[in-house]
Structure 1
Amino acid sequence: MTKLRLGPIADDRPIRVTVELPAAVHRDLVEYARLLAHESGRAEIAPAKLILPMLTRFMETDRGYQKQRARARSNDEPSPDPV
């Protein structure tokens, strides 16, 4: 069996977000949740619980985003005072 990119889903305090998904994306999300539950030995994982870790993983592995984010942070840091 192929290893899925998402690891265990943490039980975190949820924050309600409303999002509309195309039916095909929802079906894929449901299937991914089913496969991940099977892989991790859990009875079930709610598909909505996958959205946060998927978005987090996407942003963590997007090199362009990380470069821009680092650049923005370095521009926000105050310059050291001249001595």
Structure 2
Amino acid sequence: MAAEPRWRLNRELNVSVLVQVGLLGALIVGSWMNLQRQLDLLGRDVSLLLERQKEVARKIEQLQAASISHEVRLGSLETQR
């Protein structure tokens, strides 16, 4: 007499399991789409920050040039006295 397996795989799927699997799949897809949207927004924000950083760097360079110019003028005025 052959030993019967202790468990059997029941291949029947009821409707609730199918609905749960479908909803889980929809949740995964929705989460993935939301993540992609958030990554797109993050990329846009990083691009804007880089542009602003370049603008600030240009303004700082202009201020440094003006400061050097004023120092030279001040030095020439002090030597004239």
- The structure whose residues are more often helix, as a share, is 2
Same fold (TM over 0.5): no
Higher relative contact order (CA 8 A, sep 6+): 1
Higher Rg of the two aligned structures: 2
TM-score bucket of the superposed structures, by smaller chain: under 0.3
Length-normalised TM-score, structure 1: 0.26
